[in-house]
């Protein structure tokens, strides 16, 4: 039976972990393997690892680092960054990664989802859409760390992605990234109404209450957070944290 998931998201840059605000000003926060070990101890539901250099700089995925992290990770692991073809996808899954996060490759090649889903299974394909709000409650889709605007209608794109065979859609708010001011609930609710596949929302979580509200408004959903799980206090000291089992039970009591 599906249930809401609380998912830390870690950003990779030059082999280290960073945190951004509105997809800009990456701040180094530590070693990815050490972070994974801590999330293991805290029994996180799932972990998303995104290499923010790979696609922008046309790099191959860092298979050596992915393998090292996957070997250490005791929770379902989703990796994204630089995936452009079936061979890369199969290689990463073969390293012990459960899911692949794909973004720009999907928009460049509409057949890519179906090809990868056929090779590794729909349950292993998550399509990540980085979005920025426009006037009149419209949204634009971006890739390459928010630097490349794509002329795609977000809601039409979601319907097509579902038809192509993706197992999950991840919506990442560029406007709310690193702000810790709460999720874009209006957007989350709109998307929940038009798709039945697994949905995860990222961008803006600043407290466990933000996660609780998201689950209350959207039901069974993945609540993704970055800053909330790597910073502590108003001075944003780096401290890996995650809700306890008791806290999670309280969050799911709607």
Q: Is 241 helix (H, G, I), strand (E, B) or coil?
A: coil
Catalytic residue among 51, 53, 130, 210: 130
**Concatenated DSSP letters for 102-166?**
E-HHHHH-TTHHHHHHHHH-GGGEEEEEEEEE-GGG-EEEEETTTTEEE---HHHHHHHHHHHT-
Cα 68 to Cα 175: distance, rounded to the nearest angstrom: 32
Cα 145 to Cα 13: distance, rounded to the nearest angstrom: 12
Active-site residue 130, yes or no?
yes
Number of H helices, E strands in the chain: 10, 14
Cα 80 to Cα 100: distance, rounded to the nearest angstrom: 6
Cα 195 to Cα 252: distance, rounded to the nearest angstrom: 22
- Helix H or strand E encompassing 48: strand 47-51
Task: Give catalytic residue positions.
Answer: 130
């Amino acid at each position: 039976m599906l249930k809401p998931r609380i998912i830390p998201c870690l950003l990779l840059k030059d082999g280290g972990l960073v945190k951004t605000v509105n997809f800009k000003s990456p701040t180094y926060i530590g070693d990815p393997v050490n972070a994974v070990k801590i999330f293991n101890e805290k029994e996180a539901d799932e972990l998303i690892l995104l290499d923010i250099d790979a696609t922008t700089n046309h790099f191959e995925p860092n298979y050596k680092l992915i393998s090292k992290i996957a070997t250490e990770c005791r929770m379902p692991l989703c990796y994204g960054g630089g995936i452009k073809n079936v061979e890369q996808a199969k290689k990463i899954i073969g390293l012990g990664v459960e899911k692949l996060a794909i973004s720009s490759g999907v928009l460049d090649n509409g057949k890519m989802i179906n090809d990868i889903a056929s090779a590794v299974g729909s349950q292993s394909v998550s399509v990540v859409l980085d979005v920025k709000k426009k006037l009149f409650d419209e949204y634009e889709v971006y890739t390459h760390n928010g630097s490349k605007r794509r002329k795609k209608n977000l809601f039409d794109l979601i319907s097509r992605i579902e038809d192509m065979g993706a197992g999950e859609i991840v919506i990442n708010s560029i406007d709310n990234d690193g702000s810790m001011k709460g999720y874009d609930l209006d957007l989350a609710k709109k998307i929940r109404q038009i798709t039945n596949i697994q949905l995860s929302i990222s961008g803006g979580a600043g407290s466990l209450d933000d996660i609780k509200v998201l689950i209350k408004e959207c039901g069974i959903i993945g609540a993704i957070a970055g800053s909330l799980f790597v910073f502590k206090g108003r001075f944003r000291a780096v401290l890996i944290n995650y809700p306890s089992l008791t806290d999670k039970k309280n969050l799911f009591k709607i």
